[in-house]
Amino acid sequence: MNTAYLGLGSNLGNRLAFLRGGRDTLVNQPGIELIEASGVYETEAVGGPEGNPLFLNTVLKIQTSLEAKQLLKACLAVENEFGRSRPAIWAPRTLDIDILFYADQVICEKRLTIPHPRLQKRDFVLAPLMEIAPDFKHPLLGQTITELAAGSAGVAALTPLRTIW
């Protein structure tokens, strides 16, 4: 079993329902067990078209017997189940699931990059990670989540909308 951290986001439709549905569908699959979930944060969209709706974001800590590529396949299937479309990069979406970390592995392939290449620059990822993995060390940067978050003034300003969801 490996520990992985997944970032979930939604900025279309009933955002909280999409996060709940994505979480529940993921953890009901064989080989995936939910260990902990962060609170839910509402944040501005990063990138994308003008007027992109606000996101709800959360991070899940899971244990999985799936290999990283299998986990990616499972995440993509859940996104599709919840109506995810990809008309353009950073377009609004019903559900987005990113593998942030997979154990301490570093994977750099065409369809899979772990750790997520931009997580250290994204307050909407760092804030929920701070809740559930403050001492986790980024395998490439050699810094803990706490240290990464300390470099971002925006993380301290974020508080969860919902802590139990």
Category of 157 on φ-ψ map: left (φ > 0), alpha (ψ -120 to 50) or beta: alpha
Among residues 15, 96, 122, 123, the one annotated as catalytic is 96
Among residues 15, 23, 84, 122, the one annotated as catalytic is 84
Place of tokens 């080989």: 31
Among residues 23, 24, 86, 98, the one annotated as catalytic is 98
Nearest-CA neighbor of 161 among 13, 21, 17, 57?
A: 57
162 is catalytic: no
84 is catalytic: yes
122 is catalytic: no
- Give the Cα separation of 47 and 23 in Å (integer): 24
What is residue 90's three-state secondary structure? Answer: coil
98 is catalytic: yes
- Give the Cα separation of 39 and 55 in Å (integer): 13
- Using CA atoms, how far residue 143 sits from 64, 79, 120, 139, 151, in Å, is 24, 30, 10, 8, 11
Among residues 20, 23, 86, 93, the one annotated as catalytic is 93
Positions marked active-site: 84, 93, 96, 98
